[in-house]
Amino acid sequence: MAGDHGGKDDGGKHNGKDDGGKGKGMLRRAAAHVMPRTSADKDQPQYSQTPPAVMHPNPMETRASRTPKRSQTLDTGAAAKPPSQTPTSQGASEYLSPAPAAANPNPTAAQVPATVPPTLLPAPAPVVPPATPAKEHVERARSAEPQAQRERLMIEHIESLELRNKHLEERCKFYESDPYRNELTSIRTHLQVNDLLEPWQISQKFQAINKDVENVSRNLSEFLADSYTAKGPCNTGDFFLFSQNRPPKTDQQSGGTPVSAEDFVDFCCRSLINEQLMTKILHPQVFHPGLGSQENKFIGEMYESVRTKERQIIAGRWRISSFNAYKHIEFSAKNIALKLCQGALGHVCQGVYGEEPAETALSKVYPEIVAVFEHAWEWYSLAKSSVVLLDYEPFYIQPGSPYTPEHHALEGRKSKPPASGTILLTSRLGLISSEAQGEDKPPIRIIQSKATTLTAEYFLGS
């Protein structure tokens, strides 16, 4: 018995070597399922040629195994494990089965008994091809590049925020400092505007001066016409004889359209009072009527230079401060009125009515003439010392000047331009508002009211 086993063993070893080790493994698996025969099993057929996977030693066990339990069907490792046998000899020890291998977590259909349904098999794991070292390096570099860029941008953003925070802290300290507060207070005080009067209100008050001039002139002419008789006829050429700023002699001065004595005195009085108002008080070069001519000229030129360099709000403040500095100087309207009555206006009345009627009439209207100059001085002081945003400049048209409809309005109801085209006199003063621009630019001037002028055509329609 032992010899037979030895012979088979030698043949098996020889065959296993020839087959590359495959035959030896098959013999070992077959030997693991060979059961030792007893006297009771001699009559049973031998199934030594049957593969171990379908071999059933006991028919009853075969019938019971058709309905296996769930634990038996799933325990594939236990079903495949052969029963351990005790070797009886040294030769039989070579046929002992090796230790069972570890269970495969993902068995295939061929490795699982047929009793396990395919639906109970776990899903196979995805096959991931092994990455080469070069590919891993490229992927690692790509994943690290955005991360490094994000970190760099984050650092730059933090640095910019820190720099901005530092700048804001410095600005806050500057705004809370005493020098800045003092400067801000000075600017607010300097730029404070207290213009309580609108431009139309200034213009309305100025028109009241023109109304006073008309009333005085009408009272004087009516008193002389009602009380005395004129010495001779008058014409439009005579208007140029009594003006301080009369033009060179023309043909119209030797003759012209006849004019009544009353109208002649009326319009001459208007023209002469307006001329004195502009010369003594309202002219732009007269900064203060109480100052001398040289001082007024110097301050006036200086103010025009300021208006050229600075804007209106700065120039207006400069004007107010400078004018208030000379406010203590007295201005006498009586002296101007007295010189006018003793001068040009007295000559007009004497030339038309005589010396005695002229003295009587002028003494009667003298207080009214003084009131006109005082009223003009009040308006001028208001415009010079209280208004910042605009400068107001009255204007007067010289006798003999050409007629321009942009600046002139004709006396009377006629709107047709005069054929002569020459201005005889100015019966009502005009008013211009100006705003300094600075930057070596001239001021912007706007006509608030045109100057009313008289031409020879006015008397042709009467």
Contact criterion met (CB below 8 Å) for 421 and 403 = yes
Local confidence band at 12 (pLDDT 50, 70, 90 cut-offs): very low
- The sign one gets for the Cα dihedral 73, 74, 80, 82 is negative
Any domain includes 106 = no
List CB contacts of 190: < 8 A, sequence separation 6 or more: 317
Q: Check residue 106 and give its pLDDT.
A: 54
In this model, does residue 39 exceed pLDDT 50? no
User: 117: Cβ–Cβ under 8 A, 6 or more apart, which residues?
Assistant: none
Which range (93-102, 137-146, 353-362) has the least confidence? 93-102
Residue 174 pLDDT: 80
Does 289 fall in a domain?
A: yes
Helices marked H in 343-419 — which ranges? 344-353, 355-385
Residue 359 domain flag: yes
The mean pLDDT of 135-154, rounded to a whole number, is 73
Amino acid at 460: L
Helix pair angle (261-277, 333-342), 10° resolution: 140
pLDDT: is 134 or 173 the higher one?
173
83-97, 242-256, 376-390: least confident range: 83-97
- For residues 141-148, average pLDDT: 70
What is the rounded CA–CA span in Å between residue 453 and residue 410? Answer: 5
Give the model's pLDDT for residue 108. 52
Residue 332 phi, psi (nearest 5): -110, 110
Does the pLDDT at position 405 exceed 60? yes
The count of residues in the chain is 462
Average pLDDT, stretch 243-259?
62
What value does the mean pLDDT of the chain take? Answer: 75
Does the pLDDT value for residue 188 go beyond 70? Answer: no
Q: Is the pLDDT of residue 62 over 70?
A: no
Measured distance CA(168)–CA(367) in Å, rounded: 69
* Domain span holding position 408: 199-460
User: What separation in angstroms does the CA of 121 have from each of 52, 100, 104, 234?
Assistant: 24, 21, 12, 139
Confidence (pLDDT) at 52:
47
Antiparallel, parallel or unpaired: β 234-235 and 258-259: antiparallel
Tokens of 140: 């690692």
The mean pLDDT value for 95-115 works out to 50
44 in any annotated domain: no
Number of domain units in the chain: 1
Q: What is the pLDDT of residue 91?
A: 43
| CA–CA dist 290, 14 (Å, integer) | 149
Has residue 394 been placed in a domain? yes
Q: Using 50, 70 and 90 to split pLDDT, how confident is the model at 128?
A: low
Q: Looking at residue 115, what is its pLDDT? A: 54
The answer on pLDDT for 40 being more than 60 is no
Higher local confidence (pLDDT), 333 or 76: 333
The residue that leads in pLDDT, 314 or 146, is 314
Q: Give domain status of residue 430, yes or no.
A: yes
Range scoring the smallest mean pLDDT among 147-161, 248-262, 272-286: 248-262
Q: What average pLDDT does the segment 271-287 reach?
A: 93
Q: Which residues pair with 402 in a beta bridge?
A: 422
Q: Using CB atoms within 10 A of its CB, is residue 281 exposed (0-12), middle (13-18) or buried (19+)?
A: buried
Give every CB contact of residue 217 below 8 A, 6+ residues apart in sequence.
265, 266, 267, 269, 270, 273
The DSSP call for residue 424 is -
Of 316-325, 376-385, 417-426, the range with the lowest mean pLDDT is 417-426
Would the pLDDT of 407 be above 70? yes
User: Exposed/middle/buried for 438, CB within 10 Å: 0-12, 13-18, 19+?
Assistant: middle
Number of helical (H) and strand (E) elements in the chain, helices listed first: 16, 8
Report residue 59 as tokens.
């028919």
* pLDDT classification of 208: cutoffs 50, 70, 90: very high
Mean pLDDT of 267-282: 95
Among 420, 387, 431, CA closest to 195: 387
Whether 167 is in a domain gets the answer: no
251 or 359, greater pLDDT? 359
Specify if 425 maps to a domain.
yes
pLDDT of residue 121: 58
Higher pLDDT, 164 or 46: 164
- pTM for the full model? 0.59
| Cβ 450 vs Cβ 408: under 8 Å | yes
